[in-house]
Every structure is written in structure tokens, then in C-alpha cells.
Structure 1
Amino acid sequence: MLDVATEAAYPPFILGKSRFEQSTFYGRFRHFLDIIDPRTLFVTESRLKEAIQLLEDYKHGTLPPGITNKELWGAQKIKQAIIHPDTNEKIFMPFRMSGYVPFGTPIVVGLLLPNQTLASTVFWQWLNQSHNAGVNYANRNATKPSPTSKFILGYTGAVISAVSIAVGLNILVQRANKFTPSTRLLIQRFVPFPAVASANVCNVVLMRHGELEDGIDVLDSSGQIVGSSRIAAKHALLETALTRVVLPMPILVLPPIIMSVLEKTSLLRSYPRLVLPVHSLVCLAAFGLALPLAISLFPQMSEIETSRLEPEIAARTTSRTVVYNKGL
């Protein structure tokens, strides 16, 4: 019975493919739950080398006897979580998708702290967009080299936009005399969402603007590079930007609602020191749910009809569709 269950959970291994169906949202959700598994942060260097070697052995048909599909899928999960698919280099731990929730939750807690001062608002928005900039850059489509100057320009623009929007909204709320103090406090708790959502879009576009200029590689059904397409790059950035708008919704909207209810309970009224730990747990739960939901909206290896690409690229292949790495 166990063997049957294992066989169902781990189908025959295919290098570079997901063990979950990528044409459905549920399949992509399960796939990205695998990708963001924080346990991969603790994989040792020797274990990573073993995983990479196992995949190389599979690729060259030299697998040792007795290797199971489960072991192969596990090896690929480790490699995908740590190694960038285009550069084949290790991604800095806080910028991996598996590190997004553990390293991002303290920042979310800071963004949602009540009674923010101007200085604290600026600090948390700067820290959030700095983390986002690192994640966007580390998980970009890297088939084309990008100069450091573009990274600095994108980072500066993203931080300025986030801080400007957040500070501007806070000032508007504080000057709205018609609101009662309690209403003003509640509205201020929701200020981070429009600030973060709009800044996230700026962040993605500015951090990956080079893709719009140079294009990204598109591959045919046999995995061969057909050409470098600006149209595919636009689709990649649009899809990624949409996920960055959806991502902060549960993270920055649900915790204020939940905390406004919990803070009225006798437990938190009697023990106010519990407010911050409870707030942190609520943010962690919301973040842990929101990330896989948001990045599951589109497959990482997205597909586009060849007829929609530049004519010179479409003329190079007989494939009806091509794929490209959307980035995360």
C-alpha cells in the first residue's frame, strides 16, 4: 500500500519538469509549495553537490542502481530551491523564494505596527523594498547580462516610490480631522497595502527593465533557443508584476482585520505583551499562505504562441508555441 502511495506521489522523473501538473492552478500551487519549502535553507553544501551530481548522472544515463523517482524529485527540488536556472549559481539565502517568508515576516510585522512615526514608516518601507529588490533581481530571467548600474537605478526608484506613497498616505490620514482617533488608527493599519502593492510593481519593472530592452530567450518544444524576444519579456514582467500586486493582499489586509478583533479579547487586554508575538504569528500564517497563492497564478516556464512574437523570431521555428522563464 505504501509503495502505491509513493508511486502516486512521485511519478516517473522527467528532468526539468515539475512532478505536479502545471496547466492547473492547484498543480502550480503544490509545485510552488515545494519551491518555497524553508527546509531547503538548511541543505548542506555536500547534500547540494550530491543532488546536482544525481541529476547529472540521470542526464547522462549513468544513474547508480536502486535510485528511486522520489530521490530524483527530491534532488531536483533542492537544486531548484538553491540554484538559479539561468546562471547555475547559488542564490543568496535571504533572496531565495524559500527564504522569502522566513526573512520577510519580521519586515511585514514592522510594516503593520500601529502608531508609526514618519521615521519608522520610512525605515520599514525602505527595508521591505530592499528585500523585494534583492528577491526580484536574484530570481529574474538572467539569460541576458545586466549591468550593475541598472540594478542601482531600479533599486533607487523602487525605494523612493514606496516611501513616497506610504508617507503621503500617512500624512493624508493624519490630516483627516473628520476621522475619530480609533478610525484613523484602523485606516493607518491599511496604508501599507497600497504603498507596497504599487511600489512592488515599480520594483519589478525597474529591477528588470533591461529585459524589455534586450528581450529574453524563448525556447521551442525541443528546448532549443529560438531567439531573444522583447514581446515575451513584456509578458514575463506583466505576469510577475501581477503576482506582486496579489502577494501583499492577504499579508497586509488580513492581519490588521484579525488583530483588531483579537486585541479586544480578554486575553490580550489582560496580557498586552502578547500582542506582538500574536501579531507575528498572524503575519507569518498570512505570508505563508499568500506567497504560494500569488506565484501560482502563472507557470514559471510560461508559454506564448509563436505567431504573437516578432516576425523574425517566429520565422525561425515550426513550433506553434514557445516557452520562456518568467522568473519569480
Structure 2
Amino acid sequence: MADTATTASAAAAASAANASSDAPPFQLGKPRFQQTSFYGRFRHFLDIIDPRTLFVTERRLREAVQLLEDYKHGTLRPGVTNEQLWSAQKIKQAILHPDTNEKIFMPFRMSGYIPFGTPIVVGLLLPNQTLASTVFWQWLNQSHNACVNYANRNATKPSPVSKFIQGYLGAVISAVSIAVGLNVLVQKANKFTPATRLLIQRFVPFPAVASANICNVVLMRYGELEEGIDVLDSDGNLVGSSKIAARHALLETALTRVVLPMPILVLPPIVMSMLEKTSLLQARPRLLLPVQSLVCLAAFGLALPLAISLFPQMSEIETSQLEPEIAQATSSRTVVYNKGL
């Protein structure tokens, strides 16, 4: 009761200073934007992947954490705005793990996914790949993905390292096998002209990465299919553990992981095949790599928030579609579950 009272008093104190602010009323631990619409989720994830948080100083981080602590305990100083509180929460969530409260290594933060991942995408799409370079870039891409997944994992329950290694090895093996296999097939296809063969080779990374992403999701989260995941009623009460909800969660996550690399690995080859024909790049071939890097960065920056905004983080499902024992355990017509990222 005391915590509720202090939080309420903090909110009341802050509201007076926010009468003229355009920012919505601050809610500790809640998203700033509505998650029921695609646009709201899109704006929410734009905040999460904002690379500007990579440059936040240690002092600014401490100030943000302290501001949120003051709000929580009702000791917020007068004049603090909703915008300042939302900004502080954005900084804390971008840098500190929500379960361990430890700093996430910069390249593995969600805000670092695009800046540190773009050079890998450029490498994946380099023309005239050798067998060694194909293996290297696919390995590096899956290694980066695995580290990002592990660094941002749910750490409330201990997860064996063997499960992480299993998912990592499965993703690397599937990505490398598919990429190398497709490259070999293209090389042996005599009916293609050299120009057509080069163009097709540029699209090889997409099926390799998409298949590896699905493999990674299934292997890393296979335990959810066996044990089920928690489903909650409209009041947030635990109803039970559902294997059917787990299948829905994995399907939605796998679909997101297929959609994500599509614009990143499909659009740049199309754009570059057109740009390479321009007189500017034909006269200045040294500009090819910088231009391709900019194209990949733009595609990555657009694809990531669009893909992860497809489904709500907390997805809804009708209880009639779930196991009979769960449907009988609640009077709610629908329940929600954490889909995961």
C-alpha cells in the first residue's frame, strides 16, 4: 500500500508540471505508445533501436536511473516533465538488462543491432563470393544474432548454456550449408549468363539467413513446445501453461525472423544492380562499396522496426482455441501470452 501511495503521489506531482506537455502521462515500466496498433508498436520499437542511446555517458545513465528511482519512491523533484521521465526510461531500457540490471555489451544491444549489423550485411551481399568468404560472413552473421539473442534473453529463469550452443550451432550449420549449396548450384548452371549468375548469387544470402533464423528460433525455444508458456487473463492473473499458445508464439516469432532479412537482403541487390549501370558508378568503381553500405543501412533501418512490429509483444488468443483445462480455468474469452522477440 505504501508503494502504491508513493507512486501515486509522484505521478500527481509530475502531472502539474506536465499540463502543457505533449508527452503522454508517464507510466513506470510501460511502453510510451499504444501496443494495440501497428503504428504504436512501430513507434515503440523505433525507440528501442534508437542508436543515439549508444552514446549516452555513464553519468547520464546514472541520472536516468536515479530519476526513475525517485519517481518510484515518490521523491521526484518539482518540475520534472513526462518527457524527461520517458527519456530516462528509454535510456535505462536501452542499456541495462531488465532482469540482471547489468549493462549489455554495446554491439549486442538492440540499439546497436543496426550499426554493428550493417557491415555484416554488406559482407553477405558482396559480389563474387568465394567459398571461404561465404562461410565466414554466414558464420559471423549467425554469431552476431546469437549473441544479441543471448544478451537480451529472459534471465528470470536459469537457461542451460547447452541450449544456447545447440541453437547457435544449428543456425550456423544450416546457414552455411544452404548458402554454399545454392552457390554451387548457381555455378554449375550453364544456362545462365555470367551477369545473370552474379545477380542470382546476390540473392543467395536471403534463403540461407531466413532458414537459419527459423532453425535458431526452434532450437533455442524448443522447450516451450514441450512445457508450454504462461497465459494470462485480462487482469494479468496466471491461468495456466499452454503448449498451443507456445506453438502460436514460435510461429509468430519465426515469421518475424523470415520477414526481417527480406528487405535487408533482397532490396539492396535490386537497387545496386540498377545503380551499377549509372555513369557515376561506372566511372568511379571505388564508390560501389560506400554506396552499397548506405543502401544496406537504409534497408536495415527500415526493415527491423517494421518486422518486429508485425505482432504485439503480448499476443492475444481465444481461450476456446487452447487446451480444455485452460479454457475451463478462466471466464475470460481471451488470454494473452508473451510472444518474445
Fold similarity call, TM over 0.5: yes
Amino acid at match of 1:77: K
Amino acid at match of 1:24: S
Give the superposition deviation at 1:7.
2.9
Number of paired residues?
325
Aligned to 2:21: 7
Work out whether residues 165 and 195 of structure 1, in 8 Å CA contact, stay in contact via their aligned partners in 2.
yes
Work out whether residues 105 and 287 of structure 1, in 8 Å CA contact, stay in contact via their aligned partners in 2.
yes
Amino acid at match of 1:7: S
> 2:116 aligns to what SS in structure 1?
helix
> 2:336 aligns to what SS in structure 1?
strand
Amino acid at match of 1:206: L
Asked if 1:113 corresponds to 2:115, the answer is no
Aligned to 2:248: 235
Q: Supply the distance in 1 between the matched residues of 2:259 and 2:339 (Cα, whole angstroms).
A: 17
* CA offsets 1:36-73 (integer angstroms, 9 cap, x no match): 00011122333333323333333333322222110111
Amino acid at match of 1:175: K
Change (3 A) 1:117 1:260: same
1:108-257 aligned at under 5 Å gives the runs 108-257=121-270
User: TM (normalized to structure 2)?
Assistant: 0.87
Aligned to 1:264: 277
Change (3 A) 1:227 1:196: same
Work out whether residues 133 and 207 of structure 1, in 8 Å CA contact, stay in contact via their aligned partners in 2.
no
Q: Supply the distance in 2 between the matched residues of 1:155 and 1:102 (Cα, whole angstroms).
A: 22
Amino acid at match of 1:197: A
Q: Which has the higher contact order (CA 8 A, sep 6+)?
A: 1
Aligned to 1:24: 37
Give the fraction of aligned pairs with identical amino acids, expressed as a percent. 86
Larger radius of gyration: 2
Asked if 1:36 corresponds to 2:85, the answer is no
The answer to which of 150-159 and 219-228 deviates more is: 219-228
Amino acid at match of 1:243: T
Give the superposition deviation at 1:272.
0.8
Asked if 1:76 corresponds to 2:70, the answer is no
Work out whether residues 216 and 233 of structure 1, in 8 Å CA contact, stay in contact via their aligned partners in 2.
yes
> 1:323 aligns to what SS in structure 2?
strand
User: TM (normalized to structure 1)?
Assistant: 0.90
Work out whether residues 140 and 208 of structure 1, in 8 Å CA contact, stay in contact via their aligned partners in 2.
no
Amino acid at match of 2:197: R
Q: Structure 2: where are the runs of 5+ without partners?
A: 1-16
Change (3 A) 1:224 1:49: farther
Q: Supply the distance in 2 between the matched residues of 1:277 and 1:20 (Cα, whole angstroms).
A: 35
Q: Structure 1: where are the runs of 5+ without partners?
A: none
Q: Supply the distance in 2 between the matched residues of 1:100 and 1:122 (Cα, whole angstroms).
A: 21
* CA offsets 1:9-60 (integer angstroms, 9 cap, x no match): x111122322222111111111111110001112233333332333333333
